[in-house]
Amino acid sequence: MIEIRNVSKSYDRIKAVDDVSVTIRENTVFGLIGTNGAGKSTVLRMAAGVLRPDQGEITIDGMPVFDHMEAKKNIYFIADEPYFFANSNAVDMQKYLSSVYPEFASEDFYHYLMNFGLDKKRKVNTYSKGMKKQLALICGVCSGARYLFCDETFDGLDPVMRQGIKSIFASEMERRGMTPVIASHNLRELEDICDHIGLLHKGGVLLSKDLEDMKCNVQKVQCVFKTTEDEAKVISCLDIMKNEKRGSLNVLTVRGSKAEIVAIFATVNTIFFEALPLSLEEIFISETEVVGYDIKKLILG
């Protein structure tokens, strides 16, 4: 488990991370969402032990990560622009990483290279951006590290390759309990892979929740009431996050389980009623609007 407690980091007079506290459980996919400059990369670098926090503490499996080699053995960090040795090829990287990570899976490494169509003897500096990202991810997965930190992991990957990487993540999580932590500015890229989402804004955590809980406890309801009395009765019983009215049609975003909401509507007369599932994007828009932010401007552009 990774515990980030009251962590802050500044560069000169610029506060990159401001009192961030997040817990990342083992064998889950944690998505760290935020716009450029929100502090995602700084949080990942501190969690990987690359940077020392100015304040607060980060522990991995109970061990302080900075200056603690035992903790760092369990981490593989992939930067937004992955680093490879000058004039190296994939074979060179495999030999080096095998010396650093004792559990490096060399056989799997070459198997993945073949599946992704990467030439093991071609110089990495001649790879495209997407190919470099693929190689970096393959190196990370095969390292054997329990925690894989990925900064803008899927940026530059086409949809087919993106799904391929997600499939590998799922396989490694099931096989050895790998925990990916993925930072991205794009909410849509993470919707179908993450178990938990943390939203960073201006260096602080705006929201941190399990996706399953969010999806089960927020509903979108479209309804037309028979009378204004029925409408008033239902409205008073619901925990409404957002209420839009389009003529006689009410579009409500409501906190609570579907069964609870259906039971409340069963006590009144409606001309039309349906409860619909929300996308992750819709849930986040609703959750952030409740606390006074517009995620459409923060994340969705």
CATH code of residue 277:
3.30.70.120
d(CA 252, CA 223): 8
Dig out the tokens for 132 from the structure.
Answer: 């470099």
Q: What is the pLDDT of residue 293?
A: 60
Q: Is the pLDDT of residue 298 over 60?
A: no
Examine the fold and report which residue of 188, 210, 232 is the final residue of a domain before the chain moves on.
Answer: 210
| Shared-domain flag, residues 157 and 243 | no
- The order of strands in the sheet holding 239-246 is 239-246, 249-255, 218-225, 270-276
- Classify residue 233 as left (phi > 0), alpha (psi -120 to 50) or beta: alpha
Domain CATH number, residue 106: 3.40.50.300
Residue 290: give the domain boundaries: 217-298
> Which DSSP state fits 35?
-
Q: What is the pLDDT of residue 156?
A: 66
Of the listed ranges 57-61, 194-198, 262-266, 296-300, the least confidently predicted one is 296-300
- Which residues on adjacent β-strands are paired with residue 225? 270
Closest to 264 (Cα-Cα) out of 213, 221, 216 = 221
Examine the fold and report which residue of 210, 225, 254 is the final residue of a domain before the chain moves on.
Answer: 210
Length of the chain, please?
301
Pairing of strands 55-60, 2-11: antiparallel
Answer whether 44's CB lies under 8 Å from 4's CB.
Answer: no
DSSP H helical ranges for 9-128: 40-47, 69-72, 90-100, 106-115
What is the domain count for the chain?
A: 2
What are the tens digits of pLDDT across the range 225-283? 999 999 999 999 999 988 889 999 999 999 888 899 999 999 999 999 999 878 777 77
What are the tens digits of pLDDT across the range 174-200? 888 899 999 887 777 777 788 888 888
- Split at pLDDT 50, 70, 90, the class of 299 is low
240-265 burial by CB neighbour count: b if 16+ within 10 A, else e? bbeeeeeeeebebbbbbeeeebeebb
Q: Model-level pTM?
A: 0.79
Q: What is the pLDDT of residue 190?
A: 77
Give the CA count within 13 Å in the CB-facing half-sphere of 108.
15
Examine the fold and report which residue of 194, 210, 226 is the final residue of a domain before the chain moves on.
Answer: 210
Sign of CA dihedral 146, 109, 134, 67: positive
| Shared-domain flag, residues 170 and 275 | no
| Shared-domain flag, residues 176 and 244 | no
What are the tens digits of pLDDT across the range 142-156? 999 999 999 987 776
Q: What is the pLDDT of residue 192?
A: 74
Answer whether 125's CB lies under 8 Å from 86's CB.
Answer: yes
